Amino acid sequence: MRTENEDLSFDDFDERINPRPEDCDFDRIVEAAITRRGLLGGMLAYGSFAALGTTLTASSAKAAADRFAFDAIAVSTKDAITVPAGYKAEVLVRWGDPLWSDAPEFDHATRGTAASQERAFGDNTDGMDVIAHDGHLLLVVNNEYTNRKILWGNNPDAKAASDDDIAKGMMAHGVSVVEIARGEGGWQIVTDSPYNRRITPQTDMALTGPAAGHDLLKTDADPSGTTSKGTWNNCGNGMTPWGTYLACEENFNGYFSSSEQIQDQKPVTISPEMARYGISPEDWGYGWAKIDDRFDVAKTPNEPNRAGYVVEIDPTDPASTPRKLTALGRFKHENAEAVVNNDGRVVVYMGDDERGEFLYRFVSNGVFAPGADTDDLLENGTLSVAKFGEDGTGQWLDLTPESTGMASAAEICIHTRLAGSAVGATTMDRPEWIAANPNAAEVYCCLTNNKNRGVKPNAGGDETPVGGPNPREANKYGQIVRWWPADGDHTAAGFTWDLYVLAGNPTVHSDMRAGSGNVTADNMFNSPDGLKFDDNGLLWIQTDGKYSNTDDFAGQGNNQMLAGDPVTGEIRRFLVGPRECEVTGLTWSPDRRSMFVGIQHPGERGDSHWPEGGDAVPRSAIIVVTREDGGLVG
């Protein structure tokens, strides 16, 4: 029997545990929406919803056609990958594939053990990059979480039947580093490469930055508050200018529980600070506290403060200790998009993916110089949060003890959400990936959806009014906002913004839910999530949306990947994933002739056997997309 929690998303689970006050002032919502109709024309780059029509001209459409090296494809509901004519997609590596020859092949009957999983590619592939090093190509991939119903699907009730089952789930999390090579038979992983590495929730890490050593980070196991064990729920990623990999800890809260009711432990009251991050007496079904006291907040109440960071990993040194970067704040990190500003300072843009949470920016104190020491750059700097105006302007608000009223920089780095609330940041429609245009000082962010927009405040009680870059109440489809730093300076306080696209369904709706003018019956999608620019300046958009293909989502098929032209606004569908998957994670080979795409949780509700087909266990996997003529793919 499944618990009620099993079918809930992380956000829904948080809301059940920490219910928000209802605040549905219908008049206010309607008034705001009507006002937006007047304002939105100027805020929406490519036309508004259907009534305003499209602003794409014939000449701009032709320019766009020249930039896209493929013909758009139709939606699909097949249990297969679909790519345009002239392209092919092949599987590179799947959940459970061994990275070393002393580990067994994936066992479809048992789905492996904790020991086999620790020596194999993790589950639920997400953010990734390919790093060229010393003649080797290293694929570094986040393994965000595990599909419990599939992982434990060999048990009669699809639940953990032993401690080893729980540990198997734990070891399916983290990061996989695997060397890849292209041979006669195409791309393959290099089994037994000395670079292969699994980073798991048990890997030793260092805590760095302003919060390192703070009392809130100290535990019995680490009285110094400067070391930590492991990383989990790593969602999107980033790359530093010096070639290290950034793995972003997102829904870290869902793994903690409290034994106080069942083992007469010291009672733990869920503090407002814990509640803001969704820490609750119940976990999300993983059961980690049963095998590791760190995840029992009755025993180790500070352990949750040691998660929710960006983790820096050096994949070129398998013995290196990953570093948790507290300077970049603690929240449900989606990805970390780093750019080098004109003056050499390193700027990192980051989203906090929860309904009504914020968009952040970090600016290093020091400047990046190739070859110079970089250790300090992501340890010392200024963390800011975005406030969007209704008029297409915005400001970055610095989070300091003075501006927030909080005691120290360390506390701001630990309770970052509270700091954002204190300065009045704009509550957003779930910021997912952020991508900076390599050819212009402009930055894009997916706001995936938010059923609470205009309906409920966020977990901190901040209002979520309809307006600005979040223009639709109970937002089902999502949008992509972009901004231009003042004077092209990524460290400037000011910026201007517009909406690159409002996703929607023009075949079902004729109001704002139809989407912007660059959304048509032929390219529609919902819930943009993954986002990355290629070297050519095309913006690739991956979706993590509803795949019912009915009602509001009729005609949108399975989750997909599209490419957008930032200049003309044209968006074309490039790839459709198998059933019940999310498409997330994107990178390229150095020669750009191979594109690597992540397919996460096919069959999460039981309707897929991808990639092996037949009655095989569905497995998250990374695919390689190439052109049949060997040409560039992005």
**Which residue ranges make up the site for ligand FEO (CB under 6 A)?**
144, 235, 250, 334, 353, 432, 529
Among 15, 118, 582, 604, binds Ca ion (CB under 5 A): 582
Give the nearest distance from C-beta 235 to ligand FEO in angstroms.
3
Closest among 347, 357, 426, 437 to 393, alpha carbons compared: 426
For residue 131, how far is the Cα from the chain centroid? 20
Closest contact distance (angstroms) between CB of 448 and ligand FEO is 7
Q: Which residue's CB is nearer to Ca ion, number 559 or number 594?
A: 559
Instruction: Name which of 543 and 568 has its Cβ closer to ligand FEO.
Output: 543
CB of 63 to ligand FEO, least distance (A): 33
Which of the choices Ca ion, ligand FEO, none does residue 14 contact, using the CB cut-off of 5 to 8 A by kind? none
Distance between CA atoms of 194 and 178, rounded to whole angstroms?
9
- Buried/exposed 5-25: b ≥16 CB within 10 Å, e otherwise: eeebebbebbbebbebeeeee
Q: Which is nearer to Ca ion, 222 or 432 (CB)?
A: 432
Q: Provide, rounded to whole angstroms, the least separation between the CB of residue 491 and ligand FEO.
A: 26
Q: Of 16-24, 277-285, 476-484, 582-590, which part binds Ca ion (CB under 5 A)? A: 582-590
Report how far residue 425's alpha carbon sits from residue 419's, in angstroms, rounded to the nearest whole number.
9
Min. distance of Cβ 582 from ligand FEO in angstroms?
Answer: 8
The three-state secondary structure class of 333 is strand
In this structure, what are the phi and psi dihedrals at residue 181, rounded to the nearest 5 degrees? -150, 150
- Judged by CB under 5 A, the residue of 15, 411, 462, 544 near Ca ion is 544
* Contact partners, residue 156, CB within 8 Å, separation at least 6: none
Q: Between residues 353 and 534, which has the closer beta carbon with respect to ligand FEO?
A: 353
> How many angstroms separate the CA atoms of 551 and 567, rounded?
32
> Do residues 483 and 497 lie in contact, with contact meaning Cβ atoms separated by under 8 Å?
yes
How many other C-beta atoms lie within 10 A of the C-beta of residue 156?
A: 8
Q: In whole angstroms, what is the distance from residue 447 CA to residue 471 CA?
A: 11
**582: partner contacted, choices Ca ion, ligand FEO, none (Cβ within 5-8 A by kind):** Ca ion
The distance of closest approach from Cβ of residue 354 to ligand FEO in the complex, given in angstroms and rounded to an integer, is 9
Q: Hey, which residues between 168 and 207 contact Ca ion (CB under 5 A)? A: none
CB of 296 to ligand FEO, least distance (A): 25
Question: 488: Cβ–Cβ under 8 A, 6 or more apart, which residues?
Answer: 342, 441
Residue 87 is given by DSSP the state E
Nearer to ligand FEO, 432 or 442 (CB): 432
Beta carbon of residue 246, minimum distance to Ca ion (angstroms, whole number): 15
Distance from the first to the final alpha carbon of the chain: 46
CB nearer to Ca ion: pick between 299 and 532: 532
Closest approach of Cβ 334 to ligand FEO, in Å? 5
% helix / strand / coil in the chain, to the nearest 5? 20, 30, 50
Q: Tell me which of ligand FEO, Ca ion, none is bound by residue 379, counting a contact when its beta carbon lies within the kind-specific cut-off of 5 to 8 angstroms.
A: none
Task: Please identify the residue of the shown chain whose CB is closest to the bound Ca ion.
Answer: 544
Q: Is 379 in the site for Ca ion (CB under 5 A)?
A: no
The half-sphere exposure of 381 on its side-chain side, counting CA atoms within 13 A, is 28
Site string for Ca ion, 422-441 (x = CB under 5 A): ----------x---------
Which CB sits closer to Ca ion, 454 or 545?
Answer: 545
- Specify the residue, 406 or 621, whose C-beta has the smaller distance to ligand FEO: 621
Taking CB within 5 to 8 Å according to partner kind, which of Ca ion, ligand FEO, none is near residue 250?
ligand FEO
Nearest to 346 by CA among 315, 317, 322, 375: 375
Which residues in this chain contact Ca ion in the complex, by CB under 5 A?
Answer: 432, 529, 544, 582
